[in-house]
Structure 1
Amino acid sequence: MAMTLAEKILAKASGNSEVSPGDIVMAKVETAMVHDITGPLSVNTLKKEGISKVWDNEKIVIPFDHQIPADSINAAENHILMRNFVKEQNIKHFYDIREGVCHQVLPEKGHIVPGTVVVGADSHTCTYGAFGAFATGIGSTDMAAAFATGELWFKVPETLYFNITGELKPEVMSKDVILSIIGMVGADGATYKAAQFAGNTVDNMTIASRMTMSNMAIEMGGKAGLIAPDDKTINYVKNAMEANNTAKPFELVLGDKNAEFEEKFEIDVSNLEPVMACPHNVDNVKAVREVAGTPIDQVFIGSCTNGRLEDLRAALNVIEKHGGISKDIRVVVTPASRSIMLEAIDEGLIKKFYQYGCVVTNPSCSACMGALYGLLGPGEVGIATSNRNFRGREGSLESDVYLASPITAAACAVKGEIVDPRDL
């Protein structure tokens, strides 16, 4: 029986020779992640159930990223709870407030490998699908079960296959591609389905750009967002494991060529133009030129979607090319990880952002979660390179958030209003 990539990974993890969509399987978890927001509930559930020892202290990864440094007494108490848990269980892979966003840190540190099941108590865990893993977000109480047993049940999902072809124009990024797909499919168009991205456009993308694609699979309801592993994947994973002494064997898993998909989409991006997700839904996608001229108050460049080095470079290139940012707006820049921050410092990017009047924050979730930096007030409009624009996501319920690529966001920062980067 021919199987898709998602089906083959779940079959392998559950010890079955084959599985079909709709099957219920008990799969072994390779990596389990909680952070400072979701971890306390998982830990308290374990204690409530009388479970004194986790299944494997080397397969649990705990980064702090949402409220770092602690921005309230409650956050500080959560940090203390989690630090105590780490010590009690001798968790080997704990990253305190210094490392950055979980979805960037785990791959960087070599914790994500192809062909495995990865669970995280955070919806954007699907980011790791860019490495050929079946990665999905789960609830904190489900995570407690995974912590206790190392296994979790899954319903094998149908797969939507997106064959993406063509060469992207200079002003267009993978963020424009995934936003366009979400606009086409809808916010619930892939509910509990695996979204698989393929085609020569994806083949030519960097790992960072692929991570942007997989990251936003959840924004169309996807259970996972997968990209088949290739040489780029293997090189990234091996280098990350070697650099962090996290080496472990892994097996490449590829879908069968004659596998059946619930639906297959043929998408030519050769003529794709810059797009935005407009308030207040991620699938409210329009060409930037349709909303050009809208006044803005703030631009946020960062998050687990677009806070990587190539994103910072792309944004700064636009700002430099056009002589700086508008004096009438605020620009918040947040690298996704400490590693990225250090590279950006070495390249001189951080100094230049400051020279142009941007505010650069420590690596964290920052403005994306509406709790740390860069909150929008009532009536304000923000452009963000993050992944959600629901009401209140970045501050006031009466503010508006538009989602865009780093290139488009930087162009808006230059202009002081929404503008297509081609029209600067």
Structure 2
Amino acid sequence: MAMTITEKILAKAAGKDKVVPDQLINANIDIIMCHDVTTPPAISMLAEKAIDKVFDREKIVVTPDHFQPAKDIKSAELHKRLDDWAKRHNIKHYYKLGRAGVCHALLPEQGHIRPGEVIIGGDSHTCTYGAFAAFSTGVGSTDLAAALATGELWFKVPASIKFVLAGSLSHGVYSKDVILAVIARIGVDGALYRAMEFVGPALAEMSMEARMTITNMAIEAGAKNGIIGFDNVTKQYLDEHLKDKTDYTVYESDDDAEYISVEQFDCAEIEPMVALPHLPSGGVPITECAGKAMDQAYIGSCTNGRIEDLRIAAKILKGKQAAIRTLIVPATPVIWKQA
């Protein structure tokens, strides 16, 4: 039976020859991402059940993320609980304050993401890692607790939507504009509990940083996961970043795999986009925003805080003076040093 890349990865994780959309499965988890907001509640849930263990200390990646450095006493207490727990269980990949960063930039940078694996994290934008031909999705603290203890989690297999990105991006247009154009068309619930699979020649021109921007925002269309197939760009990035475990399995969608719909985009026609308040689906071409006043600019986030993003911004701003308050936040210490 023909399957999509998402279905193949989930079938492997569930120990099955095949799976179909809407099927309930129990899947083995390869990597769990933990940060300072959703992990402490998961720790409390485990403690209430007298569970003081983790399924595999080498398959968990921990980093303070949302509140680092701590903004107040409550956030400092979250850090302390996360720190105590990570040390008690001797978590191998623990990025303490000083080494911590935005989780969705940190994990790929530090070589924790591999094709063909199932990755979860207590954060909605965990779908970022699908750029590496992996199944990656965010979960709540309850599911996070269960996965930390058992290394397993149940899923309903998502049906897939194929997004064909044809053409080449025009000057001044980037992958963020592409995904904003996608969401502007389908809406914030246009891919509700679906797998958004991105294909097409426009992807070949994008770096891994650019691709991560696309999959990062799959959740903004309601998707269960976003995913991009493996190619030489993926391989080159992995060759440069993978450390402890360098082997992986590449899955590809079958030519006759079934999709509930196919969306075609000519990327040559996409203009620089602006997401107007208050939803990501409010994207419009920048030409429609001429003359609108701005109060503040922010360059960073888990979507666009990588070195490529900062260099693009620097190129645009070179020789100019910022006219409004402008905040720039490199996503990790490595990126900060590069910048």
Name the TM-score, length of structure 1 as normaliser: 0.78
1:264 aligns with 2:265: no
Mean Cα deviation higher: 46-55 or 177-186? 46-55
2:326 is aligned with 1:325: no
How much has 1:324 moved relative to structure 2? 2.3
| 1:285 equivalenced with 2:286 (yes/no) | no
Partner residue, 1:107:
108
Q: Which moved more, 1:76-85 or 1:115-124?
A: 76-85
Give the 3-state SS of the residue equivalent to 1:283 in structure 2: helix
What is the aligned counterpart of 1:308 among 281, 306, 309? 306
Unaligned residue ranges in structure 1 (runs of 5+): 345-424
Amino acid aligned to 1:163: V
Q: Which residue identity is paired with 2:60?
A: I
Q: CA deviation at 1:204?
A: 1.6
CA distance in 2, matches of 1:80, 1:248: 32
Distance 1:334 1:224 in 2: 26
Report the equivalent of 2:177: 176
Aligned to 1:95: 95
Identify the structure with bigger relative contact order (alpha carbons < 8 Å, sequence gap 6+): 2
Deviating 4+ runs (over 2 angstroms): 246-249
- Residues 21-47 of structure 1: CA deviation (Å, up to 9, x unaligned): 010010100000110111101111111
Q: Secondary structure at the match of 1:270?
A: helix
Take 2:29 and 2:281, find their aligned partners in 1: how far apart are those partners? Answer: 31
One-letter amino acid matched to 2:298? F
Shift of 1:249: 2.4
Q: Is the 8 A contact 1:178 1:213 kept in 2?
A: yes
Q: Which amino acid aligns with 1:49?
A: K
Q: Structure 1 residues 78-87 or 118-127, which shifts more?
A: 78-87
How do 1:12-411 residues align onto structure 2 when only pairs under 5 Å count? 12-98=12-98, 99-242=100-243, 246-320=244-318, 323-326=320-323, 329-344=324-339
Kindly tell me the number of residue pairs found equivalent between the two proteins.
338
Q: Share of identical aligned residues, percent? A: 46
1:224-274 Cα shifts (integer Å, max 9, x gaps) = 0000111221221232123xxx22421111111111101011111112111
Structure 1: distance between partners of 2:215 and 2:165: 14
Matches of 2:41 and 2:246, distance apart in 1: 30
Q: Give the partner amino acid of 1:252.
A: V
Q: Which amino acid aligns with 2:309?
A: D
How far off is 1:97 after superposition?
A: 2.1
- Structure 1, residues 91-144: CA drift from partner, whole Å, max 9, x if none? 111112223100000111111100010000000000000001100000011100
Task: Tell me the C-alpha RMSD between the 2 structures.
Answer: 1.0
- Please tell me whether the aligned partners of residues 110 and 238 of structure 1 are also in contact (alpha carbons under 8 angstroms): no
* Structure 2, unpaired ranges of 5+: none
2:327 counterpart SS class: strand
**Structure 2: distance between partners of 1:248 and 1:87:** 26
Please say if residues 238 and 247 of structure 1, whose CA atoms lie closer than 8 Å, have aligned partners that are also in contact: no
> Secondary structure of the equivalent of 1:168?
coil
Deviation string 1:160-189 (CA, Å, 9 cap, x unpaired) is 100101111111000000000000010001
Which deviates more, 72-81 or 173-182?
Answer: 72-81
